[in-house]
C-alpha cells in the first residue's frame, strides 16, 4: 500500500497541511484550537501516519525555525589532509559512544563527520538542519565565526576558544601535562622526553606541552627543545619517535606522551629497540583509554573520564537545542594520575 502522506492526514482531518505540520511538531499557535489538534491526532492514528524525517528536514533552514531534525552533528576536524585518524585513536570511539547513547535516550540521532584541513562543515550543518553541533578538538580559527553566524547551538570539546557564543567541555590540559611530568620527576627522572602531536598556538597539545615545561621549571630542570618530538597523534608516530629518543648521548630515562595512542607506539618502539619498560626507560601517557590498562606493561597515564566528557557535551547541546536562550556552559572534567607498571623510581 502507498505510504500515508501529510496531505492524506490533512484531507481526513479537514485542515491544511500547514496545520498538520504545526501539530506534529508541537508548535504553539493561537489559531489552532485543542479540538483541531485532537482531530488531527485522530486522523494520524487512524491512517497510521509516520512523518518522513528526511522530508521534514529538506529545504527547511533552521533560521526560520520551521522544522526540527532531531539530529546532532559531531564534527572531528582532521589536522592533516588525507589522514584517516578518526577511528584509529580509541579515544574517539569512547567519546562517540557516550555522545550517541546520551543523544539516543533523549530522542536524537547523530551525524558524525570528519573534515579535512580548510574544509568547512557549516554548509553541511545548515543543509541537514542540525539542531546542534559538537565539535571535538578544533583550533580557534575564522571557521568558528561561520558557526556563530549559523546560530546553531554549538559545544566545543577540547578547544580553548573564549567566544561567549560557544558552550565548552574540556579538561585542564596544561595541569594534566604538569601532573604527568611532575610524576616522573618525583620518581627521580630529570631527562624526560615529550612526544606529542602537532602543537598549535592554543590547542590541547600546546597546553600539555606548557604543563611539561611548568613541571621542569618548578624543579629547576632546563627545558630542551631537542627532547620534544612533534608529529601525529598516532600509534605509528609513537613507534617512529623512538629512533630519535634513543640516540646516543641524550640520556633520556623517561618519556611523557601527550596521548595514550602515542604512548602505546612508543612502548612498541622500545620493545623493538630491545629496551624494557620500565626497567630501562619509563613511560607515562595521557587519556586512560582501555588499552592502557591491558597492554604489557600496563600504562601509567593521566586519566580523563572520556565517557563523562561525551555525556556532558551531548546534554549541553540538547539543552541548547531546546532552549536557545540557555546561558553559556563551561564544564571542566576532573583528571588524575593512574599508577600502573610503566614507571619506576630511579
Q: Each residue of 231-264: pLDDT tens digit? A: 999 999 999 999 999 999 999 999 999 999 999 9
Alpha helices in the chain (DSSP H): 6-13, 17-24, 34-47, 53-57, 90-105, 122-127, 143-150, 173-186, 204-218, 235-245, 260-272, 291-294, 306-322
Judging by DSSP bridges, how do beta strands 192-196 and 228-230 pair with one another?
Answer: parallel
CA distance 153 to 319: 9
Segment among 73-82, 166-175, 227-236, 263-272 with least mean pLDDT: 73-82
**Does pLDDT of 2 surpass 70?**
no
pLDDT value, residue 119: 55
Q: Which CATH class is domain 71-171+307-333?
A: alpha beta
Question: For 116-159, what is each residue's pLDDT tens digit?
Answer: 555 567 777 776 778 999 999 876 665 778 888 888 899 999 99
Fold matches, 71-171+307-333 and 173-304:
yes
Q: Is the pTM of this model over 0.85?
A: no
Which of 54-58, 150-154, 162-166, 250-254 shows the lowest mean pLDDT across its residues? 54-58
| Domain 6-51 CATH (choose: 1.10.260.40, 1.10.3720.10, 1.10.1200.10, 3.50.50.60) | 1.10.260.40
Q: Domains of the chain: which residue ranges? A: 6-51, 71-171+307-333, 173-304
Question: Who's near 158: CB < 8 A, 6+ residues apart?
Answer: 136, 137, 169, 170, 171, 173, 204
DSSP secondary structure letters along 93-151: HHHHHHHHHHHHHTT-EEEEEEE-TT---HHHHHHTT-SEEEEESPPS-THHHHHHHHT
Alpha-carbon gap, residue 291 to 269, rounded angstroms: 16
Give mean pLDDT, residues 199-220. 93
Alpha carbons 146 and 337: distance in angstroms, whole number: 38
CATH number listed for the domain at residues 173-304: 3.40.50.2300
Amino acid at each position: 500500500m502507498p505510504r500515508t502522506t501529510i496531505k492524506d492526514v490533512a484531507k481526513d482531518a479537514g485542515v491544511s497541511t500547514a496545520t498538520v505540520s504545526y501539530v506534529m511538531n508541537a508548535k504553539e499557535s493561537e489559531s489552532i484550537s485543542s479540538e483541531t489538534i485532537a482531530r488531527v491526532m485522530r486522523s494520524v492514528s487512524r491512517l497510521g501516519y509516520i512523518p518522513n524525517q528526511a522530508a521534514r528536514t529538506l529545504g527547511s533552514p533552521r533560521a526560520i525555525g520551521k522544522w526540527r531534525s532531531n539530529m546532532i552533528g559531531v564534527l572531528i576536524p582532521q589536522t592533516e589532509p588525507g589522514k584517516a585518524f578518526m577511528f584509529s585513536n580509541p579515544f574517539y570511539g569512547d567519546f562517540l559512544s557516550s555522545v550517541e547513547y546520551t543523544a539516543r535516550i533523549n530522542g536524537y540521532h547523530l551525524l558524525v563527520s570528519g573534515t579535512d584541513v580548510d574544509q568547512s562543515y557549516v554548509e553541511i550543518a545548515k543543509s541537514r538542519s542540525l539542531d546542534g553541533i559538537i565539535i571535538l578538538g578544533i583550533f580557534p580559527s575564522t571557521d568558528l565565526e561561520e558557526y556563530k553566524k549559523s546560530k546553531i547551538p554549538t559545544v566545543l570539546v577540547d578547544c580553548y576558544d573564549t567566544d561567549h557564543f560557544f558552550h565548552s567541555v574540556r579538561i585542564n590540559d596544561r595541569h594534566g601535562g604538569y601532573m604527568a611530568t611532575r610524576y616522573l620527576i618525583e620518581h627521580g627522572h630529570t631527562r624526560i622526553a615529550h612526544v606529542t602531536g602537532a602543537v598549535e598556538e592554543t590547542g590541547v597539545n600546546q597546553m600539555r606541552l606548557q604543563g611539561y615545561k611548568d613541571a621542569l621549571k618548578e624543579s629547576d630542570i632546563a627545558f630542551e627543545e631537542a627532547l620534544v618530538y612533534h608529529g601525529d597523534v598516532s600509534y605509528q608516530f609513537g613507534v617512529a619517535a623512538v629512533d630519535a629518543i634513543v640516540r646516543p648521548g641524550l640520556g633520556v630515562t623517561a618519556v611523557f606522551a601527550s596521548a595514550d595512542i602515542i604512548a602505546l607506539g612508543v612502548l612498541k618502539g622500545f620493545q623493538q629497540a630491545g629496551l624494557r619498560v620500565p626497567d630501562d626507560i619509563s613511560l607515562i601517557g595521557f587519556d586512560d583509554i582501555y588499552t592502557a590498562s591491558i597492554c604489557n606493561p600496563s600504562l601509567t597515564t593521566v586519566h580523563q573520564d572520556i565517557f563523562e566528557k561525551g555525556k556532558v557535551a551531548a546534554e549541553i547541546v540538547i539543552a541548547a537545542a531546546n532552549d536557545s536562550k540557555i546561558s553559556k556552559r563551561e564544564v571542566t572534567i576532573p583528571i588524575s594520575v593512574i599508577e600502573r607498571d610503566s614507571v619506576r623510581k630511579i
